[in-house]
Structure 1
Amino acid sequence: MTEAQENPPAIDVLTSVWYIPEPSTFPPTAREVFKKHTNLADDEIIPHIISVRDTALKIFPYPCIGSFRFLDFSISESSAYDEIVSRLKLGEKLLDLGCCFGQDIRKLISDGAPSGNIYGSDLQAEFIGMGYDLFMDKDKIDTKFIAPADIFDESEASPLNVLDGQMDIIHIGSFLHLFNLEDQVRAAKRISRMLSPKKGSMVVGRQGGSSIPGEFDHSVHMLKGKMYRHDMETFNNFWNKEVGGEWQVDGTFTPIELPKEAEGREGAGWLRFTVRRI
């Protein structure tokens, strides 16, 4: 039995359904990225990941952290991934909004994207430092991190203002689904503002969706209120009718099975999308 199993983090019972003591699988892609960044031996990588993960849960028990979903490197699942890496190599800029540990950023860097062309932001500033701890690369990358950064801060003092109109690509993984529909519109309009006005600039990501779109109660106790889950039709309408502007919205919906305690199990799935300015 590992130390993580003997002494699991103190997590509220309402979020414990998302907690597993150690990864059930360790994808080859994740192993490759960690070996490149940390130089740890194979048998040292998993204990290192568990240690940093358990510390992170004490700050904010996101389901993606409790279930090690951050090992998925979800940006690499995007149908536009090869294009993203190529565009970064040509000097374009990407923002990973709500970057958490910056795991998707490390995947991009591992595949040859220049770290200096990548930005990361998160509401929780502690996650940035933990990302450096997780990948052991604080002095090795030139990525510009902005934290704490609140997407809903519309003041002149918002640190995100310096990015307005500057980003060619914005990645939002497991982000918009945190909010109700009204707040999703607010967030997406702010995202549009940071995105370059030129044709072809794009937003890519993955989020929880539903074949029965609508609002659901949060299953994470620290998040209050409702969360809205889209299908592809409502997501297209969201960008072209609610956010404003003209967008080409492409994506896929893949059914998934949620824990039995989670609301909205029926119809739940992953929505993977590419939204291009046209």
Structure 2
Amino acid sequence: MRLVICFWPSVPTVDTSLYNLSPAQAAFFKTQTGIDNDEDLKKHILEVQAKAYKVAPYPCIHGFGFLQLNLSKFPVYEHILQLGRERPNAVLLDIGCCFGVDARKAAADGFPAKNIVASDVVNEFLQLSHELFKTTPASYPGCLLPGDAFDPEFLSIVAPSDDISPAPAIDLSSLKSLNPLHGRISAINAIAFFHLFNEEKQLHVARALAGLLSAQPGSVICGFDTGALEKGIVTANLSGVEYQTFSHSPETWLSLWDGEVFEKGTVKVETELVEIPVFDTRHLMMRWSVTRL
């Protein structure tokens, strides 16, 4: 799994030599796009990447991190797919989704696409999602919803729901914001999202996402962010560019969710620190999930 940090202090030029699909990625994108030839697929992806990099030159675009099938590698992924199969009207939110690749993968693996919301602050990414996957709003039933998670008109903070009754069906295609989904979402994918923000904003977005999560046992939020043995600012070098992120430790991440965001004892928080290669260095990352009990 690769690191996806979506900002640069300065902007490097595109390096197409970084393009390298794994067998699983190649099989997925060939099936989704209908492009069977490796070189034709590469040409198609590079064309979409070039358009995205002009809009927002993020490291996840530069290093092709947007092509990663991240969520499907998580231990909690099968549980999320099970929610989609077995829980009536279960909704999956892919927040900070970029092109919504995790959302598309979940749909391909059986989570009902009509019950998936992929959201990003960069609307052009959502438009390019259709270009990448060769779909249209008419042909793909998933909801691609642009919006700013810090805009209360789009996502306000409410107390976590305590209503465990089944949620009624909702037409996601009519959504203009995430607020109608308070207390209704069964699973939230927030991979490479929290580490974009400072400590104060991480708490804000944690409370905002908690208000969306269903109170039904098994509802889950998961993510993968820069981690640390002790919380604080982490400085690292990415492709010759120095950047800083605020990173929680497993202990502070647990206490944030279990006791500050949610009432203590009402969620199970699981964390795992892992070292991953990023270009020519290694970075400490934290894989995590928060599950309602």
2:258 is paired with a residue whose SS is: helix
| Superposition pairs of residues 199-210 of structure 1, within 5 angstroms | 199-210=217-228
Uncovered stretches (5+) of structure 2, i.e. residues with no partner? 1-6, 157-176
1:269 aligns with 2:289: no
User: Which residue of structure 1 lines up, in the alignment, with residue 92 of structure 2?
Assistant: 94
Moved more, 112-121 or 171-180: 112-121
Q: CA deviation at 1:198?
A: 2.1
CA distance in 2, matches of 1:163, 1:13: 35
1:62 aligns with 2:58: yes
CA distance in 1, matches of 2:289, 2:26: 27
Tell me if the contact between 1:215 and 1:227 (Cα under 8 Å) persists in the aligned partners: yes
Tell me if the contact between 2:155 and 2:208 (Cα under 8 Å) persists in the aligned partners: no
User: Which residue of structure 2 lines up, in the alignment, with residue 141 of structure 1?
Assistant: 140
User: Which residue of structure 1 lines up, in the alignment, with residue 23 of structure 2?
Assistant: 28
User: 1:82 is aligned with what amino acid?
Assistant: E
167, 171, 187: which is aligned to 2:185? 167
Q: TM-score when scaled to structure 1?
A: 0.83
Q: CA deviation at 1:65?
A: 1.3
User: 1:252 is aligned with what amino acid?
Assistant: E
173, 198, 205: which is aligned to 1:187? 205
User: Which residue of structure 2 lines up, in the alignment, with residue 252 of structure 1?
Assistant: 272
Moved more, 122-131 or 247-256: 247-256
123, 127, 135: which is aligned to 2:125? 127
129, 150, 153: which is aligned to 2:148? 150
Distance 1:178 1:24, change over 3 A: same
Q: CA deviation at 1:40?
A: 0.9
CA distance in 1, matches of 2:41, 2:84: 28
Moved more, 76-85 or 229-238: 229-238
1:73 aligns with 2:69: yes
Q: CA deviation at 1:258?
A: 4.9
Q: How many residue pairs end up in the alignment?
A: 257
Instruction: Among all aligned residue pairs of Structure 1 and Structure 2, give the percentage whose two residues are the same amino acid.
Output: 30
Deviation readout 1:190-212 (Å, 9 max, x if unpaired): 00011112222110121222234
- RMSD, aligned α-carbons: 2.6
More helix by share: 1
